[in-house]
Amino acid sequence: MRPITLIILYLLLAAAAVALALIQPESDFASLRGFAGGLGLAAFAMLLMQFISSGRFERLSGKVGINRMMRFHQLATRLVVLLVVFHVLLFFWPGSVSDIPMKVNMLTKMMVSNHLLSGTIALAAVAFMVVAGIWRHKLPVRYEVWRASHILGALVIAIAGAHHVFSVGSYSRDNLLSAFWWALLLVALGALGYTYLLKPWLLARGAYRVESVRELGERIWEVVMQPARGRAITFDAGQFAWVNFRDPAIPLLDNPFSISSSPAELPQVRFLIKERGDTTARLGELLPGAIVYLDAPHGNFTLAGRHGEAIYLIAGGIGIAPVIGILRDLAAKQDKRPISLIYGARNPRQLTYADEIRQLQNVLDLKVLFSVDEPPPDWSGGVGEVDAPTIRRHLPAKANQCICLACGPTPMMLAIEQHLLAAGVPPPNIVYERFEYD
């Protein structure tokens, strides 16, 4: 599915709510109040559709791309806030400057009235979720707490918004529009229930057992696991899994980690994880035999379905996790294409799997540049940030023939994307996945 297809479907469903109101005999969208009502209908339809654009549904995000899906989710929510704000303001839009004090007074009284209380609650919840999403990494709360608040906020919006639409909106008393709202509401609540109630139960039927845990670098751990019961997961090299280290599988406590093994190693699965607080800070305490739950596969940071005469891999820090999985898979398939890898880290000790990568040069047509920010006196590799000349110099073939995959800190990936575009690499040939946005 192309991103434009998702956008069109999204807008069509939002427009459907307005269209169902327009066909009613008493519709009056030509007036300012009627237009305000139409904005409210479109906004609520868009809000309910946000429940399935959260990136947790692989059948959708896997086709569109997790980057596009999550960015769309965020930007669409902000658009909804604007629609809701104008929905409210246009009902009390002053006819002249002298009307402003009266209209402000009416707006204040109406917002706290029992009649509009559910609408006010829904508006406040939307505003809270947008602000909390933008400032998530600066809030003094744990990730799990933030996720719980996000889910609770979504429930409040759905329930309060539905009450407001049915109790205040005259158009929604129509049987056809009422059925439309109930259908969207059931889909939204069903998506939430599936993700946080049904899926954990399903995952509990198939679990993995930790086989080994070892520290490969400063605060960098490799966790190897085997199926304990149920069916083993399947995946394409480079994809990620939502991993829950708690037993039983408690919702909200899973985190996304890239799979560092290749499909050829199945049923064994490996992860390379860096300590960043919360769950990952206790990886050193994880013992062999511990039960782990995997929700996989997710993501499209893969070579699957992509065609090019050469492969260009760029990894920064822990971004080597999916890249080493791709290299292992290419070696298992005895791929003959020319491959270039640029792997950057803070210092040589942080270059995880460096020895294995050197050995892969004997199996693959692989050229490697190791680059560090803190080089020792005897260092012979790259130093500092990977710049545009370095990117161009290590292209394994003509720019339009390369499939380029980059993984690392978000600023690094965005900069590399610009360097690759400037070098002539077509946009569809540049692949990266972001887990942080604002």
3-class secondary-structure state, position 352: coil
Ramachandran quadrant class, 317 (left: phi over 0; alpha: psi -120 to 50; beta: rest)? left
Pair 279, 325 in one domain: no
CA atoms of 394 and 429, how far apart (whole Å): 16
> Are 218 and 188 part of one and the same domain?
no
Q: Which helix (H) or strand (E) holds 7?
A: helix 3-22
Q: How many domains does the chain have?
A: 3
Domain limits at 290? 207-298
Is the same domain home to 362 and 233?
no
Name the domain boundary from 278, 298, 318: 298
**Per-residue model confidence (pLDDT) at position 259:** 97
Is 170 found in the same domain as 113? yes
CATH of the domain at 261: 2.40.30.10
- Residue 2, pLDDT score: 65
42 and 189, same domain (yes or no): yes
Pick from 202, 236, 262: which residue ends a domain? Answer: 202
> How far apart are alpha carbons 14 and 18 in whole angstroms?
7
Query: Token digits for 312?
Result: 């260009």
pTM for the predicted model, two decimal places: 0.85
Residues 228, 335, single domain; the answer is: no
275/283 Cα distance (integer angstroms): 8
Q: Indicate whether 304 belongs to any domain.
A: no
Same domain, 242 and 288: yes
Q: Is residue 436 part of a domain?
A: no
CATH of the domain at 396: 3.40.50.80
CA atoms within 13 A on the CB side of 156: 19
Give domain status of residue 178, yes or no.
yes
Burial 178-198 (b: 16+ CB within 10 A, else e): bebbeebbeebbebbeebeee
The per-residue pLDDT string of the chain (438 residues; one tens digit each, 9 = 90 and over) reads 566 777 788 889 889 998 998 888 777 777 888 888 889 999 999 999 888 877 677 777 766 777 777 778 888 888 888 998 888 888 888 878 888 888 888 878 877 788 888 988 998 898 888 888 878 777 788 877 888 888 899 999 999 999 999 988 777 888 889 999 999 999 999 998 988 888 888 887 778 999 999 999 888 999 999 999 878 899 999 999 999 888 777 777 788 899 999 999 999 999 999 987 667 778 888 889 999 999 889 888 999 989 999 999 999 999 999 999 999 999 999 999 999 999 999 999 899 999 999 999 999 999 999 999 999 998 988 998 889 999 999 999 999 999 999 999 989 999 999 999 999 999 999 999 876 655
Among 412, 416, 414, 393, CA closest to 404: 416
- Compute the half-sphere exposure of residue 70: CA atoms within 13 Å on the CB side of its CA: 16
User: What pLDDT is stored for residue 277 in this prediction?
Assistant: 67
Among 181, 202, 223, give the residue marking a domain's end: 202
